[in-house]
Amino acid sequence: MFDEFEQFQHFRATWNSVRIERRVELGLFTFGDSDMPYYLITTGSGKNAASDSGMVKVRRGSVTVSRARIITPETMHPELQNFFEEHEETGLVEFLMSRTAAFSNLKLSNESGPEKIVTDTVEEAVTRLNRQLDDEEEDHVAILSAPAALAGFAVFRYASERILSSAPGNIQELRERGFLP
């Protein structure tokens, strides 16, 4: 019992250490694939954060959420691709995914470009990206920030929040099409 409580506390602390600076309110498709583009701002290298804690990097990426077309025993479990580096802990992700049905039958694939080092602070980088996206009238791109060691978890948090917020609309669409009572 205490182990699960400690696991939850660790999960909550990690969840709160990454931020979604600019949210996207668009729901995900009930049928087919949904693309979720983002900018990720990280601090530190993730390997030796003490020596380069002031280094701020920006990377553009996109998560594709694919829903199973045919449900088989193999597609009953969610699949994550390209979210985490070898050294990153994934136990927190398994903790979350095992506690919600919203991830059943999903395949999540993350593709990201190269990191660019910027001399700004995280706040300045967020402000600059917000201004750029506003000028482009772009409302489908999120901005995330996290310590470099939690980069994959930040992208996972963004994807999971979008999936969870889209679930009620997706269920309603399934009902309207006669797939659910």
The single residue listed with the structure tokens 């917020």 is 165
- Residues constituting the chain: 181
Domain ranges of the chain: 2-166
Section 72-94 average pLDDT: 63
**Confidence band (pLDDT; 50, 70, 90) for 145?**
very high
What's the sign of the alpha-carbon dihedral 81, 64, 107, 104?
positive
Q: What is the pLDDT of residues 107-139, one digit of tens each?
A: 888 999 999 988 779 999 999 999 999 999 999
pLDDT over 70, % of the chain:
75
- pLDDT value for 91: 63
d(CA 86, CA 80) in angstroms, rounded, equals 14
What's the sign of the alpha-carbon dihedral 59, 82, 147, 96?
positive
Global pTM value: 0.78
- pLDDT value for 105: 66
104, 68 Cβ separation under 8 angstroms: no
Beta strands 79-81; 142-147: pairing state:
unpaired
d(CA 147, CA 134) in angstroms, rounded, equals 25
Q: Most distant CA pair in the chain: distance in Å?
A: 58
Nearest to 29 by CA among 69, 70, 1, 78: 69
- What CA–CA distances, in Å, run from 152 to 30, 74, 160, 169, 181? 25, 24, 12, 27, 37
- pLDDT value for 49: 42
The residues pairing with 152 across neighbouring beta strands, listed in sequence order, are none
